[in-house]
Amino acid sequence: MGNREQLLELADLFAENEETLAEYYSLCNKKMDKYRDTWTRLETCEKKHADIFRKLKLVIEKQPFKWQVGKFSPLAIKLMIDQTKANIEKLKNGTIVNNYALTFIRDIENSLIESNLINAFKTENIEWQGIFSDMQEDSQWHKQAIMKIIQEEM
């Protein structure tokens, strides 16, 4: 697989991961509605990130020579997506307790994939570096918001 194909695959996977996390937060909102504002903000943010990765894919398609693959393995992202989807099913079926749902998403937000989004794609493009930096700041807030819920619930 060439650099262009790897970049496009990563952009697709990151978009799918962010959409999956948005769905997870939506279901947490239904299960733990005491934190409705936080869950809604998290869901909205993940959807925004998914849109960014879809836009990134379009940019890469037009100018793949301006991009390099960062430090992420598609397999690791696929594994995270699969784990999140499995827990989405548990949330839907009511077979997951709140404590586990919270610690799972805390671990996801603390994972290298979420903690180092800024290193997923390499480019000299200052605008995109800024976008990645903003996403990284969002991820920091995600961790803090989830930890606040965990501290109140556990």
Q: What share of the chain is helix, strand, coil (3-state, %, to 5)?
A: 85, 5, 10
Has residue 27 got a pLDDT over 80? Answer: yes
How far apart CA 117 and CA 132 sit, in angstroms, is: 7
Residue pLDDT, tens place only, 75-85 = 999 999 999 99
How far apart CA 23 and CA 21 sit, in angstroms, is: 5
- The sign of the CA dihedral 130, 136, 138, 144 is negative
Has residue 66 got a pLDDT over 90? Answer: yes
3-state secondary structure of 57: helix
| pTM score above 0.85 | yes
Residues forming a β-bridge with 122: 68
Note whether 69 and 6 are within 8 A (CB): yes
Has residue 101 got a pLDDT over 70? Answer: yes
